[in-house]
Amino acid sequence: MSEGAAKKEEKPRKFQAIRGTRDLLPPETVLWNRVEQTAHEVFGTFGFGEIILPVIESTELFARAVGSDTDIVSKEMFSFTDPANVIRTLVQDALQAGPGVDMGNFEQTSQSSIEGKVQFISLRPEATASVCRAYIEHGMQQLPQPVKLYYRGPMFRRERPQKGRYRQFYQIGAEVLGGSDAPAIDAEVIEMVMTFFDRLELQGVQLDINSIGHSADNCRRGYVQKLKVALETVQDKLGPDSQRRIETNPLRVLDSKLESEQGIIATLPRIADHLCEECAAHYAAAKHQLEMRGVLYRENWRLVRGLDYYMRTTFEITAKGLGSQNAVCGGGRYDGLVELLGGPPTKGIGFAIGEDRLILSLQESGKAPAQQGRDVYIAWMGERAHATAIRAAKDLRKAGFSVELPPVEQKFGKALGQADKLGAKYALILGDNEVSEGLWTLKTLADGSQEKLTEPQLLDFLRKS
Question: How many Å apart are CA 314 and CA 40, to the nearest integer?
Answer: 24
108-137 footprint of ligand HAM as x/- string (CB under 6 A)? ------------------x-x---------
Measured in whole angstroms, the distance separating CA 222 from the mean position of its chain's CA atoms is 35
Q: Does 285 bind ligand HAM (CB under 6 A)?
A: no
Number of DSSP helices (H) and strands (E) in the chain, helices first: 18, 16
Is the CB of 62 or the CB of 440 nearer to ligand HAM?
62
Among 165, 244, 270, 320, binds ligand HAM (CB under 6 A): 165
Strand, coil or helix: 423: coil
How many CB atoms within 10 Å of residue 391?
11
173-202 footprint of ligand HAM as x/- string (CB under 6 A)? x-x---------------------------
Among 148, 214, 282, 357, binds ligand HAM (CB under 6 A): 357
CA-based nearest residue to 401, from 368, 371, 384, 424: 424
Among 124, 133, 157, 252, binds ligand HAM (CB under 6 A): 157
Q: Does 67 bind ligand HAM (CB under 6 A)?
A: no
* Candidate segments 156-164, 267-275, 296-304, 396-404, binder of ligand HAM by CB under 6 A: 156-164
* Candidate segments 97-105, 166-174, 270-278, 280-288, binder of ligand HAM by CB under 6 A: 166-174
- Write down the least CB distance from residue 143 to ligand HAM, Å: 19
Strand, coil or helix: 72: helix
Question: How many Å apart are CA 407 and CA 249, to the nearest integer?
Answer: 63
Q: Does 22 bind ligand HAM (CB under 6 A)?
A: no
Q: Which residues pair with 156 in a beta bridge?
A: 168
Q: Does 209 bind ligand HAM (CB under 6 A)?
A: no
B/e letters for 83-116, b = 16+ CB within 10 Å, e = fewer, are eeebeebeeebeeeeeeeeeeeeeeeebeebbee
- Whether the CA torsion 47, 190, 290, 144 is positive or negative: it is negative
Q: Does 208 bind ligand HAM (CB under 6 A)?
A: no
Interaction residues for ligand HAM, span 292-351 (CB under 6 A): 307, 327-332, 350-351
Query: In sequence order, what E strands does 290-423 have?
Result: 298-299, 311-318, 327-333, 348-354, 374-380, 403-404
Is residue 24 within 8 A of residue 36, CB to CB? The reply is no
Q: Does 434 bind ligand HAM (CB under 6 A)?
A: no
Q: Which residues make up the interface to ligand HAM (CB under 6 A)?
A: 126, 128, 157, 159, 164-166, 169, 171, 173, 175, 307, 327-332, 350-352, 354, 356-357
